[in-house]
Every structure is written in structure tokens, then in C-alpha cells.
Homo-oligomer: A and B are copies of this chain.
Amino acid sequence: MPMILTAAELNTSLNGRLEGNAEVEVTGPAPIESATKEEVTFLANPQYAKYAAETSASVIIVSKDFQRPSGFEPTIIRVSNPYQSFTRVMELFQQEDTGLTGIHEQAFVAESATIANHVSVGANTYIGENVEVGENVSVFGNVYIGNRVVIDKDTMIYPGTVIYRNCRIGKNCIVHGGTVIGSDGFGFTPQDDGHYRKIPQMGNVIIEDHVEIGANCSIDRATLGSTVIRHGVKLDNLIQVAHNVEIGEHTVVAAQAGISGSTQLGNHCVVGGQVGFVGHIKVAEGNQFQAQSGVPRTIDDKGKAWAGSPAFDYRQALKSQVVYQRLPEVEKRIQSLEQEIQRLQQQENKDANHDE
């Protein structure tokens, strides 16, 4: 049963200025190029202005200075930031749809586990001994929650997630499918005979509040102490977080990045896709890393931008990239210089001989 909202109701929520039919009803949001007349859309990027004249949407959210084409039919809602307002519209239409209702008959929950009110647990999910699950937590099906794990309230754990023993997940977190939290850190001592001896990994992982973790990430437990993901961190998919790493508050990491053991990222950093950090370094707050960068050492400066492998100053890196692409030509220029210098030397010698 889809939700239905009128243009007037949307306008009230957005605190906008409505022009046109206030009573028209829409059942959901859509992009401008594919919206139907049951939908609401928005125009933020001027590149998409051409679609405005053609859109079938019944309601369109636009900026305050939008020029209404003649004969334009959709109801208009003028706001200061159409993109942000549209995000609000999406939130309005988003209905909770976990498909979960309480503890599924085919879930296994240990008797020693403490399950708060309004918790859902899906089929084929295992919740181990002495686990604590807070209010309003949704654990989907096919999840494994090891012994003594703590999950604080309002958190969602998607299907296929694995959380090893003793790890702690905060409030209002989201963990997507296939992610493994608390697997052993990668620690071995080389022996004299060339074999490696495993170093016990006895710590855990602590994930603070309002953290979102994408699909198929790996977050290793600490050797001792904790691997820590601070408040508000957002991790994309397929990210590697090694043992004893700490990621600072509100830092954002794109897909397939990797952070080696004991490295500390500061608050409010932005890490591009496929970036790698070596182990045992500290990165100050507010640093930004272009995709595929390799970060080889501690960064004490705050708020800088980096690129390259090894990473260096972003603007410098862009310039080096340009020269790199014409290195063969650069080398030819050196050859020309060498030939000309040789000619000048020969001329000089000739002159010298001539002078004698």
C-alpha cells in the first residue's frame, strides 16, 4: 500500500512556496527524466533543465529563481536548496520495510541473551550466549552474532553479517550484508625456520553511534584493546580495517579502501575509493585522499588534500600527472638538448683548433 501525499502537504514539510494545484497527489519521488504523473521530482542541476519542460511529474521542487516555461503544468514548490529538500521528500516517503516481525521461529537466540523490547530477529540468525540487544534493534535473517556481543538500540544488522564474540555496536548504526566484524587481526611472528606463528588476537571491535558500514567489509579485532570506529563514521563497501585501527568521528571512507594495522585516522577525513594506508601512522583531522592514493607516513597537518601512490600534495600531484603523461616527449627534448650541446662543443673545439 503506497503512501500518498498532496503537493500542499509536501510544501508544508519543506517550508516552500507552492505554485499550481495544491491538491494533486503523488505516491513517491523519482528522477526528473523518468518521473510519472504519480510522482514528485526536483531540479537542482542546471544540466537537467531541459528535462523540466518534458517531465511527467505532477510536482517539481525547484530553486527560488526557477523560470517557469510557458504552458508548464506541474505544481511547483520553490525552496532555497532543491536537492536537500528532495532528500527530505525521500525521507517522507520512505516507509520502514524490514519485513521483520519479532523473533522469527527459525532464529536461534541463546537463553542467556538479553533481548530488549521491539527487537526483530530474522530466520536462520544465530544470537549467542550473553549477547545484549537494545530496543528497536533489527537483526535480519542469516546473521551470526557471537557470544557477549552488545548491540545498542535502534541499530540495523542486514543479512549475512558476521559479528565475532565480544564486539560492541553502538546506537543507530547500520551494518550491511556480508560484513565481518571482529575477525582475527593479521599478526604472525616469523620463526627461525621460516614458518609463521600466530599472535593471539584477544581484543575486540568497538563501533560507536550513528556509524554506517557497507556490504562485505572486514573489520578485524584488536590484538589487545580495541579496533575503534568512532561516532558518525561512514564506510562504503569492501573496506578493510585492520587490527587496532582507529577511525575518527565523521570520517567517510569510499569503497575498497584499506587501512593497515594500528593506523589512526583523524576526525572528518574523506578517503577515496581503493586508497591504502600503511600501518602504524597517524593522520590528522580533515585530510582528504583522492581515489587510489597510497598513504605512506604520518600526516600532522590538518585539512590537506593528497593524491598519488605514495601520496603527496594534491595540487602538486595533478601537475606531476600531466608531465608523466608526456614523459616520452620530455625525454626527446633532453635528447635534442644533448645533441645540440654536443654540436656546440664540437663547434667550440673547432673554433679552438682554428684559433691555434
A333 contacts chain B at the CB level, 8 A cutoff: yes
The answer to whether B344 and A333 touch across the interface, beta carbons within 8 angstroms, is: no
Whose C-beta in chain B lies nearest to the C-beta of A223?
B90
Number of copies: 3
- With the chains together, A106 CA to B144 CA distance in Å? 13
The answer to whether A224 and B178 touch across the interface, beta carbons within 8 angstroms, is: no
Interfacial residues of chain A within 11-49, with CB under 8 A of chain B in the complex = 28-31, 34
Interfacial residues of chain A within 223-239, with CB under 8 A of chain B in the complex = 223-225, 232, 234, 236-238
A301 contacts chain B at the CB level, 8 A cutoff: no
The answer to whether A328 and B337 touch across the interface, beta carbons within 8 angstroms, is: no
The answer to whether A142 and B129 touch across the interface, beta carbons within 8 angstroms, is: no
A117 contacts chain B at the CB level, 8 A cutoff: no
Contacts of A223 on B, CB cut-off 8 Å?
90
The answer to whether A196 and B337 touch across the interface, beta carbons within 8 angstroms, is: no
Min Cβ gap A184→B in Å is 7
Known contacts A224-B31, A323-B327; decide if A258 and B273 are in contact (CB<8 Å). yes
If over half of A's interface residues share one DSSP class (helix, strand or loop), that class is named, otherwise mixed; here it is loop
Known contacts A144-B140, A180-B215, A202-B93; decide if A327 and B320 are in contact (CB<8 Å). yes
Contacts of A199 on B, CB cut-off 8 Å?
87, 90
Contact with A158, one of B162, B254, B291 (Cβ below 8 angstroms): B162
Contacts of A122 on B, CB cut-off 8 Å?
126, 144
Min Cβ gap A96→B in Å is 11
- With the chains together, A326 CA to B225 CA distance in Å? 42
- With the chains together, A309 CA to B324 CA distance in Å? 11
State the A residues within 8 Å of B (CB).
Answer: 28-31, 34, 83-84, 87, 90-91, 93-94, 97, 99, 104, 106, 108, 122-126, 128-129, 140-144, 146-147, 158-162, 164-165, 174, 176-180, 183-184, 186, 188-189, 194-200, 202, 210, 212, 214-218, 220, 223-225, 232, 234, 236-238, 240, 242, 250, 252, 254-256, 258, 260, 267-268, 273-274, 276, 278, 291-292, 294, 308-310, 312, 316-317, 319-328, 330-331, 333-334, 337-338, 340-341, 344-345, 347-348
